[in-house]
Amino acid sequence: MLIVQIGGSQPALSFVQGCLLATVQADLYDDLLGRIRNEVLALVHRRPLRGVLFDMSSLRAIDSYVFSHFVETARMTSLLGVDAMFFGFSPGVVSALMDLDLDVSDMLAFRNMDDALRHVSVSRPLPVDEDSPEEEHAPEEELDLQEELDDEMYDCAEMTGQDDDRQDDADD
């Protein structure tokens, strides 16, 4: 499994069965939310993916701002041609989302990663003639991916007006 991590407090991104897996950690703040979005969008744009999976199992609480951020990111991946789905919500988080009266009508959610992957395997099967499993990557490919991701993140940040923040971070 290829894992891409960037910077200090990083989103954990990996690839599993042709999908990008974003493991959402409990300590979320604006900078990390933006980095998750930028990295996910860059990878969706750059690589052929069957889906994006957001693992929400480590969250014990969520507010409307954080939830809306992930739903918007999922909608963005759909505009890029890749469905995003969520899995692992705890009963308490689900209850809180309902109490906040948030619109969940257009999101795909599953109990666990196996259920989400089963859905992806039906809706977007892997090509039959693949020579090697995608989890086998050469170290050079990981470095190339890191460089591509850095370039793509800069492009995304520039489009969203966050390039000033990146420059400030680089100066530190």
AA letter at 44: V
The answer to whether 38 touches 70, Cβ cutoff 8 Å, is: no
Q: Which pLDDT does position 103 carry in this prediction?
A: 87
Q: How confident is the model at residue 2 (pLDDT cuts 50, 70, 90)?
A: very low
* Mean pLDDT within 78-106: 93
Distance CA 165, CA 158 (A): 10
pLDDT at 123: 86
Least confident range of 8-17, 25-34, 91-100, 135-144: 135-144
**All domains of the chain, ordered by start, with CATH?**
3-171 (3.30.750.24)
Helix ranges, the chain (H) = 30-46, 64-79, 91-99, 113-123, 139-159, 163-171
pLDDT per residue as tens digits for the range 5-32: 433 456 689 999 999 999 988 778 888 8
